[in-house]
Amino acid sequence: MKLKNRNEIAEIAEKLKKEGRKIVTCNGAFDILHLGHIKFLEEAKSQGDVLIVGLNSDASIKRYKSKDRPINNQDSRAAVISALEMVDYVVIFDEDDPRKLLEAIKPDVHCNGEEYGENCIEAETVRKYGGRVHLIKKYKGLSTTGMLNRIIGARK
């Protein structure tokens, strides 16, 4: 099973590092999976040996997106992300950002969208443990929020 809790993923990460495996992390809502997500996750996986996806909990998404989100609950989203071949582990986190999760994992590489920049909120935590931030190009027109806005706009 790919879905792990924070304590389990911390132990797994420690073991993987001792084996010399390169750990890559990324995080997000992954609410309605689309091609942009797939491309992002493929590139993230290419940065190392093991990809750990931090999945925002339903509560955290409501706080940072809107009360009407997510569309799919965290268990459904975790199952979908876990089904992807390039994803090795999934861990749900409830905070507004993944810094506490990254403290537990201590990734070699943390992937983020280019729109957040080299000095994204996660950068200091990742660099503290010798890791680096890898920025991934955003694919124009490929976002869940954009898709939902187009659907809502079409109904009006």
| Mean pLDDT of all residues in 62-79 | 92
Distance CA 140, CA 41 (A): 16
Which residues touch 138 (CB under 8 Å, ≥6 apart)? Answer: 36, 113, 114, 115
* Fold designation for 3-155: Rossmann fold (3.40.50)
pLDDT tens-place string over residues 43-61: 999 999 999 999 999 999 9
Q: pTM of the full predicted structure?
A: 0.91
Asked if the model's pLDDT at residue 146 lies above 80, the reply is no
For CA atoms 5, 11, 14, 19, give the dihedral sign: negative
Confidence of residue 64 (pLDDT cuts 50, 70, 90): confident
**pLDDT > 70 fraction of the chain, expressed in percent and rounded:** 89
